[in-house]
Structure 1
């Protein structure tokens, strides 16, 4: 897929990976429209338009209808908005669970539901969903986040197969740990203690762009994380044993009480 003369709606474009995507998209010749719940306060580079969109809203489907009427030129959507909470399951509030399922999964499903038929009818379009390694490997302290990202991976896979006889590209990209403001300090310290490598948002953005340009269907980032994804799929007991050894360290950071 060429980026030149494309118009991308970028969800989650005001920080982290989304913000890092703006420059390479523009460099490739694409026009970028960033959606933000507080559009009037969003800081974006020159040449980027900001539109109002609340991914957690009950009427998100209606907001998407309005957005499409205002911007019929959109022919690509990149969904990299997300929320997480690092906490033991018994310390997760109902609100925290709902927030993660709503933003990470429900909003992506409604975006796909809205744009897929429109792109298929036009014979052109791309739907890019940014997931996580934790969408393939359940990790202690991220029960709700993993549930939402497992769901996102399943949704994007099913949608891609549903649109296989159309010109619509459906891409799922799964980064490993990424240095964004979404991570609390407890998670940063946990990654150091476990020796987990962390990528910059710019590194992840470059991989997403590369996968888009190559017309890929899925991309898992990081080594050995992508190997663990395969092992977890065929020999999950091996990953169970490895994580059992890590559990005392994980519990130490879970017990700090720092969840956001």
Structure 2
């Protein structure tokens, strides 16, 4: 995928990974539109402009239409927006479930529904979706988040196959744990207690750009996480057992949020 001088719409560009991805894309010569509910408040570097978009809005399809009416030369869309909440299912508010479904799953589907036919008609275009290792491995405390990310992975797989006879590229990138403000302190403490590796958003951003330039259809980040993804797909009981051993530690953080 050629990036230089092409216009991309970046969703989630104000988050931890998104901010690093913005800088990495600009370094590649990309012309960026950065989506935000309040674009007038954004302080963006040269080469990037803000556009108004609310991914949780009921009229998201109409907002996308307004963007393409103004910016008809959009070559690709990068969806790296997301919501999560570390909590047991019984303690997860309905509003949090609805929010994750809207942003993590509904909005990527509507984005693709809007742009895929336009890119196919233009004879070129790219749809890039940032998922998660938790889109392949269910993890205690992230039931709603895992459900949306499993859905996103399945959606991109089906979409890629649906568009296989077109020139539209569909890319799915799945980072492992990443050090961003989206993770509360209790999650940072849990990762430390379990010995989980945590990547920097800058490293993740560089890996996303590499996946794009190398035309990778799927990219799973981190070792041994990539191995666990494979094992969970063919021998899920092995992962069940491993997580069962970790469950007392996970439950302690779920219930108290206090590191000991």
Which bin holds the TM-score, normalised by the shorter protein?
over 0.9
Whole-angstrom CA distance in 2 between matches of 1:77 and 1:118: 12
Name the residue aligned to 1:226.
Answer: 226
Q: Which residue in 1 is equivalent to 2:82?
A: 82
| Equivalent residues of 1:14, 1:44 under 8 A apart | no
Aligned match of 2:210: 210
Length-normalised TM-score, structure 2: 0.98
Give 1:4 shift.
1.1
Name the count of aligned residue pairs: 258
In 1: Cα distance, 2:169 partner to 2:29 partner: 18
Within 5 Å, which residues of 2 pair with 1:119-134? 119-134=119-134
1:71 aligns with 2:55: no
Deviation per residue, 1:126-162 (Å, 9 max, x gap): 0000000000000000000000000000010100111
Distance 2:28 2:83 in 1: 28
Question: Following TM superposition, by how much is the alpha carbon of 1:257 offset from its aligned partner in structure 2, in angstroms?
Answer: 5.2
What displacement does 1:181 show? 0.4
Aligned to 1:239: 239
* C-alpha RMSD over aligned residues: 0.9
| Structure 1, unpaired ranges of 5+ | none
SS at match of 2:252: helix
CA contact (8 A) 2:15 2:81 kept: no
Cα contact 1:211–1:219 (8 A) shared by 2? yes
Structure 1 stretches of 4+ with a deviation exceeding 4 A read none
Is the 1:14–1:43 Cα contact (8 Å) retained in structure 2?
no
Q: Deviations 1:148-203 (Å, cap 9, x if unpaired)?
A: 00000001010011111111110000000000000010000000000000001110
Which residue pairs with 1:178 in the alignment? 178
- The corresponding residue for 1:62 is 62
- Counterpart CA distance in 1 for 2:189 and 2:44 is 30
